[in-house]
């Protein structure tokens, strides 16, 4: 007999009065889980200052109710204060499942709260589902991304998971949806003196087109090498796309930063066209680009695993192939 799940919560992440896209992605998955769990309701927990207006967006994107904690002391994210408030809310409302973003702040907050509640946390999940016994299953990469493992939390509650941005599709916005707004206070912070003080939030923005917004992504791996990496950047510019990489290329310093990494420890992308050069095709990388439209890969090893997930494959020496292909693209585009 299938178990009936309780409430599914999404911890909505916001900065400066703007919701993170991943929070909306999680709402779509939360509604799916709630439906599979026997019609449970979906709640979004919204913490901050002067952020009530965001509740409308959360309801339009799938929340049945928004638990709002609007207080000046929560204007800037601070792990200790946010964790105290969230711990108190969970103890009060007893949700079955709590979903967080696997962003820097979300990863820190979810781990802290899970430790306080003495429950389990599956971090950096790439999928979530309900099995045929009605159990909540959290899917995470294991052994360096070579395999995917199922995690269950049969005894402790709530069941908590953090999910990488881009793993799920953002639901369509429905302005006709209605939901309940529940206002909560931060009584737990009365008399609490934090040893920390958040001063301001500084967000660095890498130059160029963000990887997750590019319609064409040119990705490089170990096979490209330092000397040929410039061709990738020139090709991405010619195709009006963005450059991505796998872990080896990032570790070698060929890519310009972690914002370019694709995979379980990086970004999940869905471009119309993905072109990989010298990428072996480990599960760690593939999980981040498998939903691309057209997948093209060039590798000198005809047995490279990446060809198993490619629509088109070319067996060639990437270092020789890249400059020739770049020249042809420029000729076709008149650049």
Q: Each residue of 51-87: pLDDT tens digit? A: 999 999 999 998 999 999 999 889 889 999 999 999 9
Place of tokens 């290329």: 249
Q: Which two tokens stand for residue 63?
A: 């929340």
Residue 199 in domain: no
Higher pLDDT, 203 or 149: 149
* Chain segment 263-292, per-residue pLDDT in tens: 877 888 889 999 999 998 887 788 888 889
One-character DSSP codes across 152-189: --SSSSSEEEEE-TTSSPPPPP-TT---EEEE---GGG
Contact 45, 85 (CB under 8 A): no
The chain-wide mean pLDDT, for the chain, equals: 88
Higher pLDDT, 109 or 17: 109
Query: Residue 84 is part of which domain span?
Result: 8-189
Residue 205 in domain: no
pLDDT-based confidence at residue 243 (cuts at 50, 70, 90): very high
Using the predicted structure, report yes or no on whether residue 203 has a pLDDT greater than 90.
no
Whether residue 219 is found in the same domain as residue 252? yes
Q: Residue 193 has what pLDDT?
A: 85
Contact 240, 187 (CB under 8 A): no
Q: Domain boundary at 157, 189, 221, which?
A: 189
Torsion angles phi and psi, residue 69, rounded to 5: -125, 100
The DSSP symbol for 307 reads G
Residue 237 in domain: yes
Q: Residue 294 has what pLDDT?
A: 94
Using the predicted structure, report yes or no on whether residue 23 has a pLDDT greater than 80.
yes
Quick one: residue 60, left, alpha or beta (phi over 0 = left, psi -120 to 50 = alpha)?
Answer: alpha
Torsion angles phi and psi, residue 24, rounded to 5: -70, -35
Q: Give which of 300, 303, 330 is closest to 314, Cα–Cα.
A: 300
Distance CA 310, CA 296 (A): 6
Whether residue 278 is found in the same domain as residue 156? no
| Mean pLDDT across 1-24 | 83
Q: Domain boundary at 189, 220, 240, which?
A: 189
Whether residue 181 is found in the same domain as residue 225? no
Torsion angles phi and psi, residue 84, rounded to 5: -60, -45
Beta bridge partners of 47: 69
Residue 244, domain CATH: 3.40.50.1220
Q: Residue 143 has what pLDDT?
A: 62
Whether residue 174 is found in the same domain as residue 221? no
Percent of the chain with pLDDT over 90: 52
Q: Residue 312 has what pLDDT?
A: 94
Whether residue 153 is found in the same domain as residue 240? no
Tell me the pTM.
0.78
Residue 202 in domain: no
Whether residue 287 is found in the same domain as residue 155? no
Residue 204 in domain: no
Whether residue 224 is found in the same domain as residue 183? no
Q: Residue 1 has what pLDDT?
A: 45
Q: Residue 287 has what pLDDT?
A: 83
Whether residue 132 is found in the same domain as residue 178? yes
Beta strands per DSSP E along the chain: 8-12, 14-15, 18-19, 42-48, 65-70, 97-101, 121-125, 127-130, 136-142, 147-151, 159-163, 180-183, 216-220, 242-245, 273-277, 294-299, 312-315
Whether residue 99 is found in the same domain as residue 147? yes
Quick one: residue 178, left, alpha or beta (phi over 0 = left, psi -120 to 50 = alpha)?
Answer: beta
Distance CA 132, CA 118 (A): 27
Using the predicted structure, report yes or no on whether residue 206 has a pLDDT greater than 80.
no
Whether residue 106 is found in the same domain as residue 17? yes
Whether residue 31 is found in the same domain as residue 145? yes
Q: Give which of 247, 74, 69, 267 is closest to 164, Cα–Cα.
A: 267
Q: Domain boundary at 154, 189, 224, which?
A: 189
Q: Residue 3 has what pLDDT?
A: 57
Beta bridge partners of 150: 139
CB atoms within 10 A of CB 330: 13
Beta strands per DSSP E along 40-113: 42-48, 65-70, 97-101
Residue 195 in domain: no
Residue 283 in domain: yes
CB atoms within 10 A of CB 65: 19
Whether residue 31 is found in the same domain as residue 152? yes
pLDDT-based confidence at residue 4 (cuts at 50, 70, 90): low
Residue 20, domain CATH: 3.40.50.620
- Could you give the C-alpha distances from 281 to 221, 275, 296, in angstroms and in order? 9, 12, 12
**CA 171, 172, 176, 178: dihedral to nearest 10 degrees?**
10
Residue 17 in domain: yes
Q: Which two tokens stand for residue 27?
A: 């709402």
Q: Residue 195 has what pLDDT?
A: 85
- Could you give the C-alpha distances from 335 to 28, 118, 252, 329, 330, in angstroms and in order? 42, 59, 30, 8, 5
Q: Residue 307 has what pLDDT?
A: 92
Tally the domains of the chain: 2
Q: Residue 286 has what pLDDT?
A: 87
Q: Residue 5 has what pLDDT?
A: 66
**Cβ density class 98-130: b for 16+ within 10 Å, e for less:** bbbbbbebbbbbbbbbbeebebbbbbbbbebeb
Q: Give which of 92, 142, 151, 153 is closest to 118, Cα–Cα.
A: 153
């Amino acid at each position: 007999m299938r178990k009936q799940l309780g409430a599914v919560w999404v911890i909505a992440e916001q900065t400066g009065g703007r919701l993170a896209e991943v929070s909306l992605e999680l709402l779509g998955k939360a509604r799916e889980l709630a439906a599979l769990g026997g019609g449970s309701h979906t709640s979004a927990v919204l913490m901050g200052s002067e952020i009530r207006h965001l509740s409308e967006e959360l309801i339009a994107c799938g929340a049945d109710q928004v638990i709002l904690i609007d207080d000046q002391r929560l204007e800037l994210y601070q792990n200790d204060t946010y964790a105290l408030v969230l711990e108190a809310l969970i103890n009060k409302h007893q949700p079955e499942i709590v979903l967080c973003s696997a962003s820097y702040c979300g990863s820190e907050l979810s781990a802290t709260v899970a430790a306080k509640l003495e429950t389990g946390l599956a971090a950096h999940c790439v999928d979530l589902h309900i099995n045929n016994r009605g159990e909540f299953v959290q899917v995470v990469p294991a052994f360096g991304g070579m395999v995917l493992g199922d995690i269950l939390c049969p005894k402790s509650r709530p069941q908590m998971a953090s999910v990488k941005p881009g793993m799920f599709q953002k639901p369509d916005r429905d302005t006709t949806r209605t939901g309940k707004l529940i206002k909560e206070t931060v009584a737990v912070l009365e008399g609490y003196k934090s040893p920390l003080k958040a001063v301001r939030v500084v967000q660095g923005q890498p130059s160029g087109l963000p990887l997750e917004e590019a319609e064409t992504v040119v990705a490089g791996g170990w096979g490209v090498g330092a000397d040929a990496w410039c061709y990738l950047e020139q090709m991405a510019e010619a195709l009006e796309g963005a450059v991505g990489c796998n872990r080896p290329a990032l570790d070698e310093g060929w890519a310009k930063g972690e914002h370019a990494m694709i995979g379980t420890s990086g970004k999940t992308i869905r471009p119309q066209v993905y072109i990989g050069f010298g990428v072996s095709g480990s599960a760690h990388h593939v999980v981040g680009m498998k939903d691309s439209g057209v997948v093209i890969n060039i590798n000198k090893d005809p047995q490279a695993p990446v060809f198993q997930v490619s629509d088109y494959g070319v067996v060639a020496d990437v270092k020789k192939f890249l400059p020739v292909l770049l020249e042809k693209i420029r000729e076709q585009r008149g650049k």
